[in-house]
Amino acid sequence: MGEFVTVTTDAHGVATIRLDRAPVNALNPQIWAELREAGQVCTDDNDIKAVVIWGGPKVFAAGADIKAMRAMDFQEFFAAGGGLQESFKTLARIPKVTIAAVNGYALGGGCELSLTADFRYAADNAKFGQPEIKLGLIPGAGGSQRLTRLIGVSKAKEWVYGGEMYDAQTCEQLGLVDRVYPADEVYDRAVEAARAYAKGPYALRMAKKAIDEGIEMDIDAALRLETTLFTACFATEDQKLGMDAFIAKGAAEFTQR
Ligand code: DAK
């Protein structure tokens, strides 16, 4: 696909969005665009049922490309607008289960990239952080918002004000990381989990929407959304298959239709 970002799909309907820009997958404007395209492919392609985002065995991503950013002025950033944010929004809105498999550093925009996924599976040597403050910046691709929703206001402030790095075990305790695995296993484990989700019903998409959109609403509106999506499940083939299988005392083979 792109020069630095590829999407490959296996026989189980699991796509891997793979970043590959040595040495640290620094996110330059070309990668922002390629990530957006990858997110769109994963959204549009019906053969893709679940997604793993991976930066390879050494590093997830050390953030936006500081050398490229140093040369940019206000007008250029203004013109680029929320370029990276828009890319990350596309990834966060992939209506399928997504897992970030994190080896090594996930810093700044790299940490924010991992936050676009439903889950973060981390290598035991992974390190997460929002070090932008040390550059005279604040997080600009969702870090002040998605991180806060995940680990809470005061912990997010500690991360963003301090700019420190946190190991995988600490992140697991905070709820930022969902699983910790040996470094050479983390990608395979993420794919294995994604394959299990790929066999799940269309209702997974309804569940993702209910949770991700509901959390942005007041409780009454969120409950109305839940009711609408719950009801919509009855329009899916998988609801019929699931209930028929229960009544026949078997297990359903879902179609995600
Ligand atoms: N950008 C560019 N180059 C980077 C880089 C980065 N983020 N991180 C590392 N490198 C380069 C280093 O300069 C070095 O290059 P050479 O000197 O070999 O040419 C090479 O990668 C290896 O790095 P180190 O020599 O430093 O290796 P270490 O193992 O000692 O340390 C490290 C690895 C990842 C811990 C360290 O390099 C580091 O702290 N990197 C910076 C991490 C960081 O500050 N990340 C946050 C970047 S700011 C936007 C919204 C959001 C953003 C941008 C735009 N918009 C709304 C448009 C996001 C901003 C950020 O992410």
**234 alpha carbon to ligand 1 midpoint, in Å?**
48
Average pLDDT over residues 152-171: 98
Q: Which CATH superfamily is domain 203-247 in?
A: Lyase 2-enoyl-coa Hydratase, Chain  A, domain 2 (1.10.12.10)
**210 alpha carbon to ligand 1 midpoint, in Å?**
35
Catalytic residue flag (residue 108): no
User: What is the reported pLDDT for 81?
Assistant: 62
Q: Ligand 1: which of 28, 66, 130 to mutate, most ligand atoms within 8 Å of CB?
A: 66
Q: Ligand 1 pocket, 83 CB below 6 A?
A: yes
Do the domains 5-198 and 203-247 sit in the same CATH topology, yes or no? no
Average pLDDT over residues 104-129: 98
Closest CA to 172 of 191, 162, 157, 186: 186
Q: Which of 132, 190, 200, 210 is catalytic?
A: 132
Residue type, 87: S
pLDDT tens readout for residues 173-230: 999 999 999 999 999 999 999 999 999 999 999 999 999 999 999 999 999 999 999 9
- Whether residue 87 contacts residue 35, with contact meaning beta carbons closer than 8 Å, is answered with yes
**131 alpha carbon to ligand 1 midpoint, in Å?**
10
CA–CA distance from 86 to each of 57, 98, 168, 247 (Å)?
A: 27, 17, 27, 45
Q: Which two tokens stand for residue 247?
A: 């009544």
Residue 165: is its pLDDT beyond 70? yes
Residue 146 confidence class, pLDDT cut points 50, 70, 90? very high
Domain borders along the chain are 5-198, 203-247
For the chain, the average pLDDT equals: 96
Task: Return the DSSP state at 134.
Answer: G
Task: Say whether 253 sits in a helix, a strand or coil.
Answer: coil
pLDDT tens readout for residues 35-71: 999 999 999 999 999 999 999 999 999 999 999 889 8
DSSP of 206-237:
HHHHHHHHHTTS-HHHHHHHHHHHHHHGGGSH
Distance, CA of 45 to CA of 7 (rounded, Å) = 11
Region at 81 (left for phi over 0; alpha for psi -120 to 50; beta for the rest)? left
Classify domain 5-198 at the CATH topology level: 2-enoyl-CoA Hydratase; Chain A, domain 1 (3.90.226)
pLDDT tens readout for residues 72-107: 888 887 777 677 888 999 999 999 999 999 999 999
Q: Which two tokens stand for residue 147?
A: 């991180």
Please give the helix or strand (H or E) that residue 197 lies within, else none: helix 186-198
